[in-house]
Structure 1
């Protein structure tokens, strides 16, 4: 009867072991923290358990009316990183020393998970900043090479051509023409390099124009776009991610959906770019394994700190929706 009402309150090891088994399969700290509060609540038959910190939060159940809760600090590496709250079963809820020891041990594990969540968040921010700097540098390099070095080399090739025509010595003229041809080959290689740095259409038309250009030329499906409030001066990393996601989603819809209509929308919600590509095709089969395209779109969104959702149903079409933050990318 005691086990039914109070769980393993007399066996701290059983509580800790139960929590450990539940959090072991988790793939990330936030998921593990949710498993932790669920497992603690289950092991001690508590009405409520929750963890609160600046980096991660999780809760399970609801506090009993009027009973309140007990709070336990969660520490890791000498720092207090959050608070574990366990709800009282009743106003006069008995609380044993062993029960106290079990919850304190679980609180230490929660502190370790909170520390890990902070590290994951720091890594994500660092990766986002690195990506942003990389894409901004690529945009600058492309502009410098395309507008500066490229025309200068092409002009030099024209000057060598004119010089070769004025030289009377056939051997010297041939040498000059050889230099001219090598320089033109270098210009061609440079243009190839420039094209690889960043999609040229983004610099030519801006993101709104580039998104509209993706839909040009299709009779089936009938393509429509609605792009409101999206400026041409977004961070380079967000521009590239949005364009790559839209290009992949449109290509998938055209090739595989058998849709008669496709709609692309983009707008700003505060400092988040919302990009949606919807079709009315046959949808993605339930047992379909995600291919390179879907993984690539999710990775593109994650790289800039965003998220991507794919909603689909048989014969009801597919919606690809990306939310890409732009406020802290500049």
Structure 2
């Protein structure tokens, strides 16, 4: 059984670090310190970071993982992913979290790098423990913003686009820099850090891609024009997208045009991200009484009754199609690519 006084000393350090961090954040006007519920959650996260740092250093400071209670005044510890989700829903700027992480590193290092301890070793362990919280929090922050898109109107989508590009992408990029610094010194844990870096870089690419996608809408254009403008702005990396239109394009009801455009954009985005193909062909067929839009890729395909996780975007597209009375069909065979077809009927024929 570990000495009680060691446990008490660790708890005292944890409380002192948390108090100092919250004081610094309060001076800066951070929402992490001004809201009591968020501050309590932050105290719990400080406790988790310091416990994991001690575990990395091999110090006998407190009970084994799972048997240690959070310090007085702290909320139950939450995984980093839940923290990111909560902060996104509370509209807390991601920069606040990164500032808190930087301050925590400085404050905790001064407390832990004492006596005979190696300051460099303590710094590496502390930075890795902080990144354990920052990485999943950053990823789920983006996830919450993406969830909001399902019910967002055009103006809201543009606002979220700006937030994704100007705020979240910048903050994730800053997180990548910290992980890269950690990778230079972490030694045996470098493989896990490389994986964290890969996830962050993928999240950054996805965020930038979504921000670009969301800036496009139909507006005063015909649906055909909006689709061609969107395709023209896509990056040249494979799979490339070729768009073709047949028949005479015409205006559709505004709500139908916007929803149809979102569906096409989602299907193309899904194919570019998951098909592993080289080319995507997008065709619009303007018939007398309906519009048929197909998106075909030459990728890996999938079994229709075993939809891969990345194809969940297609399910959302099907739901959008139902809202405007359209039909979305998916044809796919493993190894032979995928074709998604959107059919929009126009009662009364040509308008």
Band the TM-score falls in, shorter-chain normalisation: 0.3 to 0.5
Higher radius of gyration, 1 or 2: 1
The structure richer in helix per residue is 2
Q: TM-score, normalised by structure 1?
A: 0.37
Q: Which has the higher strand share?
A: 1
